[in-house]
Amino acid sequence: MSGQITPPRRTSELVVQRMQELIADGTWPLGERIPAEPELVAQFGVGRNTIREAARALEHAGMLEPRRGDGTYVRGRSPLAGAIARRSTPSELRDLLEVRRALESESAAGAAGRADDEDVKRLRTLLSRTERALADGDLDRYTEADIAFHAELVVASGNALLIEMYDGIAEVIARTHPAVLRRPLAEQTHPRGHRDVVDAIERGDAGAARAAVYAYVDFTEVPE
């Protein structure tokens, strides 16, 4: 038995943990400003220096972003999401899409082996929403439904690690979604492969599910 004694955690580490929880559970939403420093001092019952130290730690992790004269904003729901966000310039979107293709294709293959009727039903419902939004020319509705569809596809895999990894990418995809549409929304058709991937999952065909993901990701055009 080890005789080592674990030292108590610093107060700032406890504040960092609590801030991470508030970001993860949506109390502090992505893209929104967090409470001002005096409010955080009162909320956590600690000093200003402790709040500043915790905020700096989350800034370095990419989860918070200070804006001069405007406060501090939530940039990512996890350190992984923050790291990806720092690399989300237009010239690097191709790298992001390659990672997305890898994660979604394996998720689709996993879903083909694990998804049940309810999973397929949710995917078809979200797919229908994206197609209706396209028909109406509603970019906001289309973006929301399309991102939800892809996230649900990953959830259907049942692979907790894939789900966690995709969560970070999904945040960046949400911010860059309009930039990677091939044509104006009014001229857009839902990229091929979306309905195919759901059909393949329902049939339990992992190979076809992977191929369908490649079809719709390859359809995406990244601006120069």
- pTM of the shown model: 0.65
Domain count, the chain: 2
SS3 letters across 127-180: HHHHHHHHHHCCHHHHHHHHHHHHHHHHHCCCCHHHHHHHHHHHHHHHHHHHHH
187 pLDDT tier (thresholds 50, 70, 90): very low
Q: Are residues 60 and 92 in the same domain?
A: no
pLDDT in tens, 7-25: 556 888 999 999 999 988 8
Q: Are residues 76 and 96 in the same domain?
A: no
pLDDT surpasses 70 at 191:
no
| CA torsion angle 45 46 47 53 (round to 10) | -140
Q: Which domain holds residue 57?
A: 11-81
Specify the CATH number for the domain of residue 48: 1.10.10.10
